[in-house]
């Protein structure tokens, strides 16, 4: 992906010229020199680098990948990970790394984004032992004894986490980072719908949410937003009708498949992307888990083909029974009263079919041919399910939806052809990565078009300001989603300079600035500066939103008062924009 190509160049430059080592040494308690050990380790969402200090201590530098994490949520992602690691270390004996330093993107002197410096955990990835190559499924030759050994440890971890209670649903309290996190959780599902689908489905969050049922309704609504607003969310008329109908069925099942006694809590800590790749064991011969950083059956390998269940179905249910038995044994052993609360909850979820609904609600990019959806259909009865699919899929509302989606898909395909042409030029080194990014800003003019893979990634982030080192401006995401205020031609993309200069005079910032001047320790100064920058960004965002709203109203008032006479645009021209945004032929 083009953005990552630019970012990787910056990372490699910092590695080669020694800046990573000198920067990392500044966080060591004794400022010891260090060296890089090996190359970068690549994960799906992060890259990492081993760093060895002169005393033999090994740390691990962890950076969110530019291609996998939307920049407007990178700081929040890292802050929430820091909070989770501190919480788990304090409340449990689960082996997670100790954090030595962390920072937001604005605090990274290397300009590589937010970061965490943590202990390096020795061992090998469980996926390398249990996984089948590129597959995320268990290899068939793995013995039951080895599966049970790992499951027993996982059960112990789950039982420890189950003891940690929260009185509401949402983001973790930011007791360690003081990060001004939104009330809503930054879920894997919501982030992927934004990053891959280009749809911001995080809105409409009810503060202090204290109902499981209401949370399920919230994440079901995210699936609706992705289906409605992502132009290529369907493959054709058939998939459009079936997904529309099936999502309606899921919505109707939420009250029935919510465990009523637990609807009001207590609520638990959940990891929604926890698989074999997140588990470190000592070796292939010793499966003792040494660190945690199992695949839910929602990937392509689990899809039903022409009604036939995937080959791994029998193994899945066999492993489920092994885990349930082990969980019950461990809960009996670890609980003084002998009460098996978690085991009974898992059994209830299995027996009612709620487990399949929960998998679907937490996964995103809904498709009714996935394993959990077909299992839910089986649980409710094929006749019951098919009758409701027919009822829900044969209405005037559905026909209008299908027609609109086919128009969106056609517009998307037209844009995609242009993008693929430019990508070929980039791959053949006939176009630079920077120029390729610029073409994405220019070619994606229709407000309904943004899409999958690299196309969505380019439309879902502010790559222009990312390249020029300026604060991100993500109003174009809302524009692509069709909100009315962004239909106004010439909408300002930043505060006028005279308005921006007023921010420093805000009483809250003045107070913070005074606290910084009066601070005595370096740690206090660093913390206060971070709070100051976060507060300033928040104030800017509020002022900018208010300015845009007033601008839109004034624009409409002008249209009414002048009977439609065109008003001059408010256009900000800079040399940087002229240099980077090279016009491409239509």
β-strand 58-64 against 46-53: which pairing, if any? antiparallel
**By mean pLDDT, which of 178-192, 412-426, 457-471, 551-565 is the weakest?**
457-471
CB atoms within 10 A of CB 437: 25
DSSP-derived 3-state class of residue 63: strand
Instruction: Spell out the residues 6+ positions from residue 297 whose beta carbon is closer than 8 angstroms to its own.
Output: 312, 316, 359, 370, 371, 372
> Quick one: CA torsion of 495, 499, 501, 507, rounded to 10 degrees?
-110
Three-state DSSP at 40 gives strand
- Distance of alpha carbon 76 from alpha carbon 293, whole angstroms: 17
| Residues 6 or more apart whose Cβ sits within 8 Å of residue 535 | 180, 508, 509, 512
Dihedral angle computed from the Cα positions of residues 526, 178, 105 and 494, in that order, rounded to the nearest 10 degrees: -110
Cα gap 473→503, rounded to integer Å: 18
Dihedral of CA atoms 244, 246, 252, 257 in degrees, nearest 10, equals -140
CA nearest to 470, candidates 495, 452, 488, 505: 495
Q: Residue 9 in contact with residue 434, Cβ under 8 Å? A: no
Higher pLDDT, 451 or 515: 515
Measure the CA–CA gap between 196 and 453, rounded to whole angstroms.
6
* The 124-125 sheet, strands edge to edge: 124-125, 279-281, 289-292
The answer to pTM > 0.85 is no
Backbone angles phi, psi at 173, to 5 degrees: -60, 135
Confidence of residue 549 (pLDDT cuts 50, 70, 90): confident
Confidence band (pLDDT; 50, 70, 90) for 527?
A: confident
CA-CA distance, 391 to 402, in Å (whole number)?
Answer: 16
The Cα–Cα gap between 25 and 62 comes to 15
The angle formed by the CA atoms of residues 562, 566 and 568, to the nearest 5 degrees, is: 115
CB 351 within 8 A of CB 259: no
For residues 58 and 51, what is the distance between their CA atoms, to the nearest angstrom?
6
11 vs 27: CA distance, rounded Å:
19
Contact 459, 421 (CB under 8 A): no
DSSP secondary structure letters along 176-243: TT-----SS---HHHHHHHHTT-------PPTTB--HHHHHHHHHHHHHHHHHH-TTS-SSHHHHHHH
- Tell me: the pLDDT tens digits for 159-215? 999 999 999 999 999 999 999 988 899 999 999 999 889 999 998 787 778 999 999
Confidence of residue 145 (pLDDT cuts 50, 70, 90): very high
Cα–Cα distance, 223 to 370 (Å, whole number): 15
Per-residue pLDDT of 357-408, as tens digits, reads 999 999 889 988 888 999 999 999 999 999 999 998 888 899 999 999 999 9
Classified as helix, coil or strand, 58 is: strand
37 near 52, Cβ under 8 Å? Answer: yes
Which H/E stretch holds residue 115?
Answer: strand 115-119
Whether pLDDT at 537 is above 90: no
DSSP 8-class letter at 282: S
Q: How far apart are CA 268 and CA 163, in angstroms?
A: 8
Distance CA 405, CA 232 (A): 8
440 close to 582: Cβ distance less than 8 angstroms: no
Q: What is the pLDDT of residue 310?
A: 67
Higher pLDDT: 160 or 293? It is 160
pLDDT average, residue stretch 119-130: 88
Distance CA 572, CA 586 (A): 24
Higher pLDDT, 448 or 241: 241
Which segments of 483-536 are extended strands (E)? none
Question: How far apart, in whole angstroms, are the C-alpha atoms of residue 472 and residue 491?
Answer: 16
Beta bridge partners of 34: 53
pLDDT at residue 441, rounded to an integer = 53
Which of these CATH numbers, 3.40.190.10, 1.10.540.10, 3.30.230.80, 3.30.200.20, describes 1-120?
Answer: 3.30.200.20
Start-to-end CA distance of the chain, whole Å, equals 23
pLDDT score, position 491: 67
311-360 confidence digits (pLDDT tens): 778 888 999 999 999 999 999 999 877 779 999 999 999 999 999 999 99
Q: Specify whether the CB–CB gap between 201 and 190 falls below 8 A.
A: yes
DSSP 205: P
The secondary element (H helix, E strand) that includes residue 50 is: strand 46-53
Q: Which of 451, 460, 445 is nearest to 3 (CA)?
A: 460
What is the mean pLDDT of the segment spanning 432-450? 55
Number of Cβ atoms within 10 Å of the Cβ of 189: 20
Structure tokens at 360: 């679907």
Position 378 scores a pLDDT of 94
The per-type count for the chain, helices as H runs and strands as E runs, is 22, 8
pLDDT digits (tens, 9 = 90+) for 1-42: 667 788 888 999 999 999 999 999 999 999 999 999 988 888
On the question of pLDDT at 574 being above 50, the answer is no
Summarised one tens digit per residue, pLDDT across range 47-99 is 999 999 999 999 999 999 988 898 889 999 999 999 999 999 999 999 999 99
Residue 309 pLDDT level (bands cut at 50, 70, 90): low
* Pair 459, 444: CB distance under 8 Å: yes
E strand or H helix at 73 = helix 71-91
The helix/strand/coil state of 460 is coil
């Amino acid at each position: 992906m083009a953005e990552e190509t630019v970012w990787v160049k910056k990372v490699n430059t910092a590695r080669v010229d020694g800046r990573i080592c000198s920067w990392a040494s500044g966080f060591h308690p004794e400022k010891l020199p260090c060296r890089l050990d090996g190359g970068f380790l690549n994960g799906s969402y992060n890259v990492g680098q081993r760093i060895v200090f002169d005393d033999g201590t090994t740390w691990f530098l962890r950076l969110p990948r530019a291609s996998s994490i939307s920049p407007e949520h990178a700081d929040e992602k890292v802050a929430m990970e820091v909070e989770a690691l501190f919480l788990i270390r304090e409340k449990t004996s689960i082996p997670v790394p100790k954090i030595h330093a962390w920072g937001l993107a604005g605090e990274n002197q290397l300009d590589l984004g937010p970061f965490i410096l943590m202990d390096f955990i020795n061992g090998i990835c469980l996926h390398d032992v249990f996984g089948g190559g590129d597959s995320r499924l268990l290899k068939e030759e793995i013995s039951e004894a080895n599966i049970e050994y790992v499951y027993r440890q996982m059960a112990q971890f789950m039982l420890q986490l189950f003891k940690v209670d929260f009185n509401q649903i949402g983001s973790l309290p930011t007791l360690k980072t003081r990060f001004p996190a939104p009330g809503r959780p930054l879920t894997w599902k919501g982030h992927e719908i934004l990053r891959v689908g280009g749809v911001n489905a995080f809105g409409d969050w009810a503060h202090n949410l204290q109902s499981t049922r209401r949370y399920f309704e919230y994440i079901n609504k995210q699936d609706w937003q992705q289906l409605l607003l992502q132009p290529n969310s369907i493959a054709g008329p058939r998939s459009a009708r079936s997904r529309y109908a099936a999502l309606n069925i899921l919505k109707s099942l939420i009250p029935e498949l919510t465990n009523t006694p637990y609807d009001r809590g207590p609520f638990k800590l959940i990891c929604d992307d926890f698989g074999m790749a997140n588990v470190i064991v000592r070796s292939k011969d010793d499966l003792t888990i040494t660190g945690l950083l199992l695949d839910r059956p929602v990937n392509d390998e689990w899809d039903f083909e022409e009604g036939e269940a995937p080959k791994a179905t029998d193994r899945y249910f066999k492993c489920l029974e092994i885990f349930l038995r082990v969980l019950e044994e461990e809960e009996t052993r670890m609980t003084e009263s002998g009460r098996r609360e978690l085991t009974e909850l898992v059994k209830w979820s299995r027996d009612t079919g709620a487990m399949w609904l929960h998998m679907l609600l937490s996964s995103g990019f809904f498709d009714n041919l996935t394993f959990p959806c077909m299992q839910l259909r089986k649980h409710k009865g094929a006749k019951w399910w098919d009758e409701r699919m027919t009822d829900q899929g044969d209405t005037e509302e559905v026909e209008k939806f299908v027609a609109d989606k086919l128009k969106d898909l056609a517009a998307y395909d037209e844009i995609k052809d242009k993008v693929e042409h430019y990508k070929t030029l980039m791959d053949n080194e006939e176009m630079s990565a920077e120029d390729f990014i610029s073409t994405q800003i220019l070619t994606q003019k229709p407000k309904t078009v943004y899409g999958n893979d690299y196309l969505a990634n380019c439309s879902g982030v502010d790559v222009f300001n990312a390249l020029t080192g300026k604060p991100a401006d993500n109003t174009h995401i809302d524009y692509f989603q069709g909100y009315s205020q962004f239909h106004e031609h010439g909408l300002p993309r930043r505060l006028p300079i005279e308005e921006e200069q007023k921010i420093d005079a805000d009483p809250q910032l003045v107070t913070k600035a005074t606290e910084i001047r009066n601070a005595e320790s370096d740690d206090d100064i660093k913390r206060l500066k971070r709070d100051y920058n976060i507060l300033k960004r928040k104030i800017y965002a509020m002022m900018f939103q208010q300015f845009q709203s007033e601008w839109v109203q004034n624009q409409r008032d002008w249209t009414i008062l002048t009977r439609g006479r065109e008003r001059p645009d408010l256009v900000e021209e800079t040399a940087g924009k002229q240099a980077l945004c090279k016009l491409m032929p239509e």
